[in-house]
Amino acid sequence: MTEQQRIKPRRSLGAVLLEFLGSMNLAITLLMVIAVASVIGTVLQQNEPYNNYVMKFGPFWFEVYRSLSLYDVYGATWFMLLLGFLLVSTSVCVYRNAPAIMRDMRQFRLDVQSKSLRAFHHQDEWQSGQDKDQVLQHARQRLEKLGYRTRTKQHADHITLAGMKGSVSRLGYLLSHVAIVVICIGGLIDGNIMVRIGEWRGDIVAETRDIPVSQVPSQSILPPENPAFRGSVNIPEGARANFIFLSMRDGYLVQNLPFTIELEEFRIEHYPSGQPKSYESTLLIHDPELDEPQRRVIAVNHPLIYKGHAIYQASFSDGGSILDLTGWSLDRPELGPQPIRAREHPDQPLLEGRMPEVGSQLQLNTPRGPYTLELSDFQLFNIFPNEDEPVEGVRHSPYRNYGPSMTFKLRSAAGDAREYINYQAPIRLDGRYYFLSGMRSNPNEDYRYLHIPVDQNGSIEGFMKFLALARDRELVQAVAKRHAEIEMGLDNDPEMLEQFSRSVANLVRVFVEEGVDVIVEQTERTVPEGERANLLSTYIGMIQSILGTLYLDMLSQEGLVGDEISEQQANFFDDTMQAMTLIPAYDAPLYLVLNSFEHVEASGLQITKAPGENIVYLGSLMLMLGILFMFYIHHRRLWVMVREEGGKTQILFAASGHRQRNDFDREFAFLKDDLRQRTDAQPDSK
C-alpha cells in the first residue's frame, strides 16, 4: 500500500459541520436542555412583576435568575436559539437519512446471497419433489395472503422470491424527526420572534411606568399586524378596549388590536365557601368590516375566536367602583369626619369634588403632611369560615359573609406606603361589634388588624370622640390634677400637684400617641429589673384611671350614665383601650370609612394570536403517528430462494425483522411449517 493510499482523504469543513449538526448526541443534548428549561418555566411562574421576584428570592438571587432570563424562559434569547439549533440539527438529520430510509422501504433486496441468508437467526432449508414454479406459486400465494408484498427475480442458477411487510414502520423515524422540526417552527412563530428582533435592534422598548395608554410612547406600542402575541386586559362593564398589555420582564408593551371589544355585562356565581363557581362575559365586537357589532358570550374554557384571535375569560376584578369615603384623622380626631373627594384643582371646594374611583389616586392634606391615597381594590363579598360558636336551635352556617371591603395604600411624601383593607359593615366577634381594618407593610405579610369598637348608635363616632378627649393634653392634665386632689390629697401642695399632674398627663400622652410599647421600653432602660413589674402596673393603673374618668365625663355629658355604667359601656371602654394601644402601630394619618358605593365589575380577558398553534398541533400529531409506526408496526422481510439440483428443488427460507419479537418467532415457525407442507418437503431434507 502506498503512502498516498494510507492517508485518509481530508474532509471539507462543510461535511464535518453537516455530520456534527446531524449527530444523535447533539439532538439528545439539545432536547435535554430544552426539557430542563421547560420544567423551570413551568415551576417558576413567568412574567410576574420584578418586585415579586425580589421579595421571593432576595436581591442576590433575583439578579442571578434575571441574568439567566428565568423569569421569561420561553421568550429568552437563549431558548429561542436552542429551538432554532434543534430545528437545524433535526432538519440536517432528516436530510441525511431520509433518502436511505425511503430506498430501504422500496427495495426488496432480491440480490441477496445464500451465504447471507444462512447467517440469519430465522432460516431453514429443505428439498421438495415439486418443481420450482409450483414452489414459488405456493410461497407467493401464502405470503400475499398474510399481507406481504412480493417481488421475484431470476438469477443464473436460482430464483429469489422476496416478501416485505410493515415497511411503514421505517416511516415512523422520519415522521418523528419531521414532527420535531414542525413543532420547533410553530414554537418559533408563536414565540414573539419579531418582537425579540425589534428589541435587539432597539426599535422596541418595554415601558416601565404606570401611565395611561394614551401616554405610552410609540416604541412601546405594537401594530395589529404583529404575527403572534399573548396578552391581557381588564375591561370594566360598559367600557371598550382595542389593545392589550404584553408583559415584558420589568415592563410591558401595548399591543393594538384590529377590532374593539366592549364589555356589555359581567356575571359571576359563588359557592357557599366564597370561591367563584362560574363567571362569564357578554362581549360586543366592534369592527369596521362588520355591518353591526357582534354579540358573543364567553366563559372559562369557552373562548371566542375572531379573526384568528382567541379571546379567553381569564379573571375578573373591580372595574373602577365609585366609593363614598369619609376620613377621620387619628392625630386630630376633634376635626371630625371629612369627606374624601377627587378635585380637579387644589382650589376647588372639597364638597364639589367627585367621589373617587377604585384605581385612582388622590392627594390628601393631613396633620402629618401630604399623603397620596391609592385605591386599589373593592370586594363586594368577603366570605370566610364561620368561627362563631353554634347556637342551639339556630342553623349554623360553615361560612360567613363579612360584607364589602376596600383595599388601599397610604403613601407619604417620602414614598413610604402601607396597604390597608377596611370593611364597610361592623363585624361581630365574640358577641361584640367592631369596625375592622387590616394593615401590612408589604404584600408578603399577613394583615394585622385594628378592631375599633362600635358605639351604642352603631357608629365609629363614639370611639373618635373619646380618642379626641384622650389626645387633649390640657384636658388630660386637668383630669390628672383633679384625680391627684381627690385621690392623693395633694391640694395643699400646689407645686407637687402641678408636677404630678404634668407627669401623669405626659404618661397618658405617650400611651395614646406612641403606644404602650414605648412606655415599656422607657421603663426597661431607666428602672432596675426588680422594680419594673410593679412600676409598669402602677403606670397602667394611672392611665386607666385617667382615661376612665374622661370616659365617665363623656357619658355624663351625653346623659348616658346612671349610678353605674352598663356592661356594654364597660366593654366599650375596654375595647377602646385595646384599640388605642394598636393605633401607633397602625401608622396611618387617618381612618377611612366606606359610607356607600356604586359597584363596577371588570372582566379580565386574555387574548392570543397564535398562527403557529395549528402547526404545533400538526407536529404533535405527526410525532404520535411516528411513535405509533416505530413501536407498534414491525418491519419484516422474507426470502424464498429456490434452485434445482440433482432432480430436486432446493428451498432456502429466511426472514429478518426490525425487532426480534416473540410473535415474529411464532410467525416464522408457522410459515416454515406451512411452506414445508405445501411444497411437499422430502423426509431426508435438512
Residue 491's pLDDT band, with cuts at 50, 70 and 90, is low
Scanning the structure block, which residue is given the C-alpha cell 412563530? 189
First to last CA, the chain: 45
Q: What's the burial of 593, exposed, middle or buried (CB within 10 Å: 0-12/13-18/19+)?
A: buried
Quote the pLDDT of residue 270: 76
* 392 or 317, higher pLDDT: 317
Mean of pLDDT over the chain: 86
DSSP label at 11?
P
Q: Measured on CA atoms in the order 168, 174, 180, 181, is the torsion positive or negative?
A: negative
- The 3-state DSSP class for residue 50 equals helix
Scanning the structure block, which residue is given the C-alpha cell 421569561? 72
- The 3-state DSSP class for residue 446 equals coil
Q: Which cell numbers hold the place of 322? A: 365609585
Rg (CA), the chain: 43
Among candidates 487, 471, 677, 451, which has minimal Cα distance to 575?
451
Residue 372's pLDDT band, with cuts at 50, 70 and 90, is very high
The domains of the chain are located at 12-103, 108-166+634-678, 204-319+602-610, 322-388+396-456+592-599
Scanning the structure block, which residue is given the C-alpha cell 366564597? 274
> Given its phi and psi angles, is residue 219 left (phi above 0), alpha (psi -120 to 50 degrees) or beta?
alpha
List Cβ neighbours of 580 (8 Å cut-off, separation of 6 or more). 467, 470, 511, 512
Q: Mean of the pLDDT values across residues 272-279?
A: 75
Residue 67 burial (CB count, 10 A): 8
Q: Mean of the pLDDT values across residues 439-448?
A: 87
> Does the pLDDT at position 117 exceed 60?
yes
> Does the pLDDT at position 441 exceed 60?
yes
DSSP 364-375: EEETTEEEEEEE
Q: CA angle at residue 305 from 301 to 306, to 5 degrees?
A: 155
- Does residue 24 contact residue 97 with C-beta atoms inside 8 Å? no
What ranges make up the beta strands (E) of 238-382? Answer: 240-248, 251-270, 276-286, 294-299, 304-306, 309-318, 322-329, 338-340, 361-366, 369-379
Quote the pLDDT of residue 2: 52
Rounded CA separation 67/83 (Å): 20
Quote the pLDDT of residue 351: 59
Q: Mean of the pLDDT values across residues 405-425?
A: 93
pLDDT digits (tens, 9 = 90+) for 582-615: 999 899 999 999 999 999 999 999 999 988 888 9
> CA neighbours within 13 Å on the CB side: how many for 94?
18
**Do 108-166+634-678 and 204-319+602-610 come out as alike in CATH topology?**
no
Residue 347's pLDDT band, with cuts at 50, 70 and 90, is low
* Domain boundaries 204-319+602-610, CATH class: mainly beta
In CATH terms, the fold of domain 108-166+634-678 is TATA-Binding Protein (3.30.310)
pLDDT digits (tens, 9 = 90+) for 611-652: 888 899 999 999 999 988 888 888 899 999 999 887 789 999
Rounded CA separation 649/639 (Å): 16
pLDDT digits (tens, 9 = 90+) for 542-575: 888 889 889 988 888 887 766 678 888 899 999 9
Quote the pLDDT of residue 686: 45
Among candidates 96, 82, 101, 87, which has minimal Cα distance to 178?
87
> Given its phi and psi angles, is residue 202 left (phi above 0), alpha (psi -120 to 50 degrees) or beta?
left
> Given its phi and psi angles, is residue 655 left (phi above 0), alpha (psi -120 to 50 degrees) or beta?
beta
Q: What's the burial of 620, exposed, middle or buried (CB within 10 Å: 0-12/13-18/19+)?
A: middle
